[in-house]
């Protein structure tokens, strides 16, 4: 079941539909489906999909995390999209039960900012919640979330995605 929230460019839409169809035809479901989707989206060859997600954030502070964050940071550093600044938090917050442990650039001022959290997909929202809790302790917050694929069972008004798995 797919629900469209905002329209990606046609070439991105077509590419995402193909990735999803390939994963579904492989028989993957549940967490295996989302893991395969994450791997496909993080691939730098899907740069156009990532850039479509972050366009329009020129006047925003961007927060991200993990391997996707590394990819996003490199694209920003190379001047492929604009924003006020980008901070990348550590990955594996959930799988290794780490929480927020570090971020880069290390000298990034995290105080008193409203961030757009950008990631490839949203499953439970736990990573963005952990980052938001951390940021709120220093007077900042996540004001919205932009993801390519929303796989959370419950709708969240803060989340903007190209596709949503559940209705």
Q: What is the largest CA-CA distance in the chain?
A: 46
Please check whether residue 135 is in contact with residue 142, taking contact to mean a CB–CB distance below 8 angstroms: yes
Report the sign of the C-alpha dihedral through residues 30, 33, 34, 35, in that order.
positive
Please check whether residue 19 is in contact with residue 149, taking contact to mean a CB–CB distance below 8 angstroms: no
Please check whether residue 118 is in contact with residue 150, taking contact to mean a CB–CB distance below 8 angstroms: no
Q: Kindly report whether the global pTM for this prediction surpasses the value 0.85.
A: no
pLDDT tens digits, 76-118: 999 999 999 999 999 887 767 778 889 999 999 999 999 999 9
Question: Any idea what DSSP says for residue 11?
Answer: H
The token duo for 73 is 């940071």
pLDDT tens digits, 27-69: 988 778 878 887 777 665 578 888 988 988 899 999 999 988 9
Residue with tokens 């730098």: 44
């Amino acid at each position: 079941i797919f629900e469209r929230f905002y329209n990606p460019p046609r070439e991105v839409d077509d590419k995402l539909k193909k990735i999803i169809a390939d994963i579904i035809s492989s028989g993957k479901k549940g967490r295996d489906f989302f893991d395969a989707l994450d791997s496909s989206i993080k691939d730098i060859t899907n740069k156009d999909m990532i850039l479509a997600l972050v366009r329009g954030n020129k006047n925003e502070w961007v927060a991200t995390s993990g391997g996707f964050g590394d990819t996003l940071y490199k694209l920003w550093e190379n001047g492929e999209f604009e924003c006020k600044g980008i901070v990348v938090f550590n990955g594996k917050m959930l799988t290794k039960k780490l929480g927020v442990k570090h971020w880069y650039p290390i000298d990034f001022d995290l105080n008193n900012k409203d961030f757009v959290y950008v990631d490839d997909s949203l499953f439970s929202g736990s990573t963005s919640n952990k980052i938001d809790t951390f940021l709120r302790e220093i007077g900042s917050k996540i004001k919205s979330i932009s993801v390519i694929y929303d796989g959370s069972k419950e709708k969240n008004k803060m989340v903007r995605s190209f596709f949503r798995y559940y209705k």
